[in-house]
Copies of this chain bind each other. A is one copy, B any other.
Amino acid sequence: MNYDWLFSFVAFADRLNFTRAAEELHITQPALHAQIRKLSEDVGATLYRREGRSLVLSPEGRRLAAFGREVQARGSDVLAELRGEDTRGPVILASGQGAFLYLLGPAIKRFPKERWPLRALSMSGPDTIEAVRDARADVGVAVLANTPSDLDCRTMRRVGQTVLLPRGHRLSKRRSLKPGDLDTESIVVAPEGSPHRVMLSQALATAGAKWSVAVEATGWELVIQFARYGLGVAVVNDFCPVPRGLVGVRLEGVPDVEYHVVTRPGAERESRDTLVRMILESAA
């Protein structure tokens, strides 16, 4: 296997666009195309296919790109070591916005970034898993419904749900709430299809509660902001700080969600493992 071609393929896999990837590599598009065709012949597998006007990687292509990224990461570590530099290759941490804002702060602060530059990628939960699987990220933090068997998952923290209410709201004096208590409420929710929205609407339906969508918002911060504006009540993870002017009441009777730290087996590196350790410690 020709590793120049492999690394070119990684650049292609990152963008799925020959023209752009070729620019990135400072070669022309036909040159890149030839490399990838030869790589494909070499490994004896088709690496991508057309889908309409865009290109998508085949499973083999994804696997190969992941391998290439891994080699690059290790290679830059080794190179830095050999050259006596004290900063190694970067560690890439992927996670949702919520975890970055409220869960990962302490670990990120403690992490020795002068030794291992930290690169943070904010994305959705499912994308986080994919990013780790494809070696686009070294560490992922996400809520897992079903734990993928090909990745290492360690539970980081369980979080419950909190209902954010205006100060004078009829429910604001309660010690805790059940889904049924939100009957007739207008609620600020995450977009249709997101895990949090699914969980919430299911719990409310089970309890027989009638409710309406106040606003759809993406990201905890926005949800909280809209609740502050008084557009409706909000149901958020209990790690979110309750903002001034609102009251937080625990919501019982909904399943706790579990944040997990996800890594690729076989991609052990000192930098990565240190980050994982710090994340788990900070959650304890």
Residues on A lying within 8 angstroms of B by beta carbon are 1-4, 43-45, 60, 63-64, 67, 70-71, 74-75, 78-79, 81-83, 265-266, 268-270
* Contacts known (A3-B4, A67-B74, A75-B67); A43 close to B266, Cβ less than 8 A: no
Distance in Å from the Cβ of A87 to the closest Cβ of chain B? 15
Q: Are A1 and B64 in contact (CB under 8 A)?
A: no
Q: Are B82 and A45 in contact (CB under 8 A)?
A: yes
Per the bound structure, the CA–CA distance linking A81 and B3 in Å amounts to: 17
Q: Are A43 and B79 in contact (CB under 8 A)?
A: yes
Residue of B at shortest CB range from A6? B3
Q: Are B81 and A63 in contact (CB under 8 A)?
A: yes
Distance in Å from the Cβ of A78 to the closest Cβ of chain B? 5
What are 25 residue pairs bridging A and B, where the CB atoms are less than 8 Å apart in the complex? A3-B3, A43-B79, A43-B82, A43-B83, A44-B82, A44-B83, A45-B82, A45-B83, A60-B82, A63-B78, A63-B81, A63-B82, A64-B78, A64-B82, A67-B74, A67-B78, A70-B74, A71-B71, A71-B74, A71-B75, A74-B266, A265-B268, A265-B270, A266-B269, A266-B270
Question: How many of these chains are in the complex?
Answer: 2
Per the bound structure, the CA–CA distance linking A83 and B40 in Å amounts to: 11
Per the bound structure, the CA–CA distance linking A63 and B84 in Å amounts to: 13
Of A1, A44, A78, A83, chain B has the most CB atoms within 10 Å of the CB of A78
Set B71, B83, B268: member contacting A266, Cβ < 8 A: B268
Chain B residues lying within 8 Å of A268, measured Cβ to Cβ, are 265-266, 268
Chain B residues lying within 8 Å of A265, measured Cβ to Cβ, are 268, 270
Residue of B at shortest CB range from A7? B3
Distance in Å from the Cβ of A76 to the closest Cβ of chain B? 9
Q: A45-B83, A74-B266 are in contact. List 17 more A-B contacts (CB 8 A).
A: A1-B79, A2-B4, A3-B4, A43-B79, A43-B82, A43-B83, A63-B81, A64-B82, A67-B74, A67-B75, A67-B78, A70-B74, A71-B71, A71-B74, A265-B268, A266-B269, A268-B268
Per the bound structure, the CA–CA distance linking A82 and B1 in Å amounts to: 12
Chain B residues lying within 8 Å of A63, measured Cβ to Cβ, are 78, 81-82
Chain B residues lying within 8 Å of A79, measured Cβ to Cβ, are 1, 43
Distance in Å from the Cβ of A59 to the closest Cβ of chain B? 9
Distance in Å from the Cβ of A207 to the closest Cβ of chain B? 46
Distance in Å from the Cβ of A270 to the closest Cβ of chain B? 7
Residue of B at shortest CB range from A83? B44
Chain B residues lying within 8 Å of A2, measured Cβ to Cβ, are 4
Chain B residues lying within 8 Å of A270, measured Cβ to Cβ, are 265-266
Per the bound structure, the CA–CA distance linking A83 and B43 in Å amounts to: 7
